[in-house]
Amino acid sequence: MSNQRVASRYAKSIMELSLEKGRLEEVHTDFLRLTALAESNHELSVVLRNPVVNSDKKLNVLKALFANKVEPLTMTFFEIVSGKNREEILLDVAKEFENQYNLHKSIQVAEVTTTFPIDDNLRKEFAEVVKEISGKQSVQLVEKINPDLIGGYILTVNDRQIDESLSSKLRILKTQFTQNHYESKI
């Protein structure tokens, strides 16, 4: 079975349990903390995915990093996953838990790329467009800056992309100019 399917099942289990116990927000915060720590510290993800390091050492690392800082439910989950020698999927479980959390809370994650940092007014306009596209009640914008766009924006919602950047319009013009339909054929 692929890691994605296994991670999805583990995420669904911890999601249902945290909903049942009324600890969803706390567990969500713990998984966000795990993801942020793994992104800022590459060694953590290497250790968790390393088959040479045994499960007890991996669990000790997790306990040292998260002891008294996470929900007991989350620590118990880490122990269960470690007991099954599945620590390599913990980061995948965290990502999948985030997806399921967003689905449960009706949150649409969208990515907007511009050439400059956007202000609150633009943020609200983008959020309204995303709400209209997705039909979700709440929007979480991931903002990126790319000066190569020259101007405009690229908005990505799920698998739909709205590209209103000047660089893409210049590319389209360039291809149109290479196909000169008015050149006489002599």
Express each pLDDT in 112-146 by its tens digit. Answer: 999 999 999 999 999 999 999 999 989 999 999 99
Residue 44 has what pLDDT?
Answer: 93
28 shares a domain with 115: no
90 shares a domain with 28: yes
Helix (H, G, I), strand (E, B) or coil at 102: helix
d(CA 99, CA 152): 29
CATH code, 137: 3.40.30
Residue 150 has what pLDDT?
Answer: 87
Cβ proximity of 27 and 73 under 8 Å: yes
User: What is this structure's pTM?
Assistant: 0.81
122 shares a domain with 89: no
91 shares a domain with 129: no
Q: Which residues of 39-76 are buried (b: 16+ CB within 10 A; e: fewer)?
A: eeeeebbebbeeeeeeeeebbebbeeebeeebbebbbe
174 shares a domain with 140: yes
Helix (H, G, I), strand (E, B) or coil at 130: helix
CATH code, 50: 1.10.520.20
Number of folded domains that form the chain: 2
122 shares a domain with 47: no
Residue 68 has what pLDDT?
Answer: 85
110 shares a domain with 26: no
How many CA atoms does the CB half-sphere of 104 hold within 13 Å?
15
Q: Which of 84, 103, 122 is the last residue of a domain?
A: 103
15 shares a domain with 96: yes
**3-class DSSP string for 26-62:** HHHHHHHHHHHHHHHCHHHHHHHHCCCCCHHHHHHHH
Whole domain around residue 9: which residue ranges? 3-103
183 in a domain, yes or no? Answer: no
List the chain pLDDT tens, one digit each, 186 residues. 578 899 999 999 999 999 999 999 999 999 999 999 999 999 999 999 999 999 999 999 999 999 888 999 999 999 999 999 999 999 999 999 999 999 999 999 999 999 999 999 999 999 999 999 999 989 999 999 999 888 899 999 988 999 988 888 888 888 887 876 666 655
**Residue written as tokens 């013009």?**
173
Residue 180 has what pLDDT?
Answer: 67
Long-range contacts: 40-47, Cβ < 8 Å, 24+? 45/91
Residue 178 has what pLDDT?
Answer: 80
119 shares a domain with 93: no
